Amino acid sequence: MADIIISRQQYDATDANQVNGWKPNVISGAITGTSMASGTTYEIPADFKDHKTVFVIQAESNANVTFKAGDTYHAVKDLMVECEAGTNIIWLDSADFINNTTGKISVETSAAVTMFGYEMR
């Protein structure tokens, strides 16, 4: 299983641009998404536990992207997102889908897509 790259906020108490101790998640330069092949399971490192995460999914054709149910106290059922060809944006609470054993969120897709992840606070 391949990991999906997450752009993350960093704590830096000395940064003049910090907000309540956290440096804003500023995107600079090119961000590389993770190409996902149809029918393959990918994993999202989720050591951030209970944060909001935004996913940008670029699909060449219609695709169903499924975030697999987690096993934490906060877990929900699988979430299937029907993505249209083009750019799709979804927001998740990571605690709903994290696997406590692996510390990752599993995601599958029915068609090839490219996924970008951004941790929010």
Instruction: Please count the structural domains in the chain.
Output: 1
CA atoms within 13 A on the CB side of 87: 6
Using one digit for the tens of pLDDT, what is the confidence trace for 87-117? 999 888 877 888 888 888 899 999 999 998 7
Residue 90 covered by a domain:
yes
Higher-confidence residue of 62 and 75: namely 62
**What is the number of other CB atoms lying within 10 angstroms of the CB of residue 28?**
5
Residue 24 covered by a domain:
no
Q: What is the CATH number of the domain that holds 52?
A: 2.60.120
Task: Give the pTM.
Answer: 0.74
**Phi and psi angles of residue 95, each rounded to the nearest 5 degrees, phi first:** -65, -20
What is the secondary structure of 53-113 as a DSSP string?
EEEEEEESS-EEEEEPP--STT----EEEEEPSEEEEEEEEGGGT-BTTTTEEEEEESS-E
